[in-house]
Structure 1
Amino acid sequence: MSLPRSNYDPRRVCLNPFPNLDFHLGKCRRTIGVYIAGGLFALAHWLFLDVEVPSSHYHPPPDAPYDSAPVHVTFVDWVQGILSVLGFLVVNLIDKDRIKGEEAYADARAVWRTRLFLFIGFALMAGGLAGSVTILVLKYVVPSYPERFTYYSYANVSQNIAIMLSAVTLFLATVNLVPGSRKQYAVLIQ
């Protein structure tokens, strides 16, 4: 499928342009996005702490000869959340204007490195999600533990999904949708 030459921009990545969020959310787009991202990030960690605390404080009945809990939350369950948080930080510490490769940044290698770091950040988050699903299957579902123990891993998967959604929401909320706005601010400052 080819587009007419007047509508085609060879620098575009996607064939169809993304919707204009400024039109739908108005001036409060950035504020709303930051609050939603913060809420998702807090929800993610609340889900995991909701599992970690009961797991660490589980006591067997007094007449049990040994710990009757078949499984506990260990460091293996923490690793996926740590990877997702690192990916979240990498993705949202990147200068969004460098990703676009505008004329203000003439160094093509800087644009390439920025896109590589963005990929690494999303790869860290995807690795965290894949690891949490793997732990869910191998540690909790295959041995067929009772439902109260498999909830440990469901919360871990939910934590990683919420962190990914938070990272994407914050990234989209803080991206500069107005082209050349940094140049306009530089002119206003001078």
Structure 2
Amino acid sequence: MIGNGDDMEGNRLFKFPKPQWLNSANTRNAGVYLSGALFSIALFVMIDATVYSNGRLNGSDLHLNFVDWIPSIFSFLGMLVINSIDKTRLSGDTFAYSGDGVAWKAKVVLFMGFAAMAGGLAGGVTVMVLKYVTEGATGMSLWFGVANLLANALVMLSCVVLWVSQNMEDDYTYNLAL
């Protein structure tokens, strides 16, 4: 029965168990590849908008310059920082990491990575509003700001997918690590 709680573990957060297929090596690999695809799409969108804005076909006075790239740079650096941290370093429960304060340092660095990514997304919104929306850009000129925002959002989504897929727990991986 669901209501009596006899079959439920005391330390679980949710009522329903997670599906077994979620912890397979194939799911983990698919997540890593999906993250790479999202990241490459983000980079393509940003480079495509830059090339088009500086080309002969752009008839407007609005062009992408370094100011437009700053939010993307922060998002890329945030993704690099977040995915460089091992999930086991975040818990201070193990004896190997609890004595020298590595868990606290890892949490601070992880927060800085998330702050960089959030700052990149907020910067993308700011650049789009201040540079393109208030200037009355339409059509492909407005696409430059939308591409910047889309690239930052895709980098954030890529980071989340990579973080989750790299840190899936599987009994097979623990047996190999022993």
**How does the TM-score come out when normalised to structure 2?**
0.83
CA contact (8 A) 2:21 2:27 kept: no
Q: Which residue of 2 aligns with 1:70?
A: 61
- Partner secondary structure for residue 143 of structure 1: coil
The amino acid that maps onto 2:121 is L
CA contact (8 A) 1:21 1:29 kept: no
Q: Which residue of 2 aligns with 1:166?
A: 158
Which residue of 47, 50, 70 corresponds with 1:49? 47
Q: Which residue of 1 aligns with 2:37?
A: 39
Which residue of 72, 80, 98 corresponds with 1:89? 80
The amino acid that maps onto 1:52 is T
Deviation, structure 1 residue 166: 0.4
CA contact (8 A) 2:28 2:168 kept: no
CA distance in 1, matches of 2:137, 2:47: 20
CA distance in 2, matches of 1:173, 1:84: 19
CA contact (8 A) 2:79 2:155 kept: yes
**Equivalent pairs, count:** 171
Q: Which residue of 2 aligns with 1:146?
A: 138
Deviation, structure 1 residue 31: 0.4
The amino acid that maps onto 1:120 is M
- Partner secondary structure for residue 105 of structure 1: helix
Where do 1:84-163 residues align within 5 Å? 84-103=75-94, 104-107=96-99, 109-163=101-155
Deviation, structure 1 residue 148: 1.4
The amino acid that maps onto 1:129 is L
Which residue of 27, 32, 38 corresponds with 1:29? 27
Identity of aligned residues (%): 37
CA contact (8 A) 1:22 1:29 kept: no
Which ranges of structure 1 fall in alignment gaps of 5 or more residues?
61-67
CA distance in 1, matches of 2:84, 2:143: 33
**How does the TM-score come out when normalised to structure 1?**
0.78
CA contact (8 A) 1:70 1:145 kept: no
Deviation, structure 1 residue 123: 0.7
Q: Which residue of 2 aligns with 1:63?
A: none
Which ranges of structure 2 fall in alignment gaps of 5 or more residues?
none
Single out whichever of 165-174 and 17-26 deviates more from structure 2. Answer: 17-26
Offset from partner CA, 1:60-118 (integer Å, 9 cap, x none): 8xxxxxxx622110100000110000000000011111113342422362101111111
Q: Give the superposed CA RMSD.
A: 2.8
Q: Which residue of 1 aligns with 2:71?
A: 80
CA distance in 2, matches of 1:142, 1:44: 25
- Partner secondary structure for residue 102 of structure 2: helix
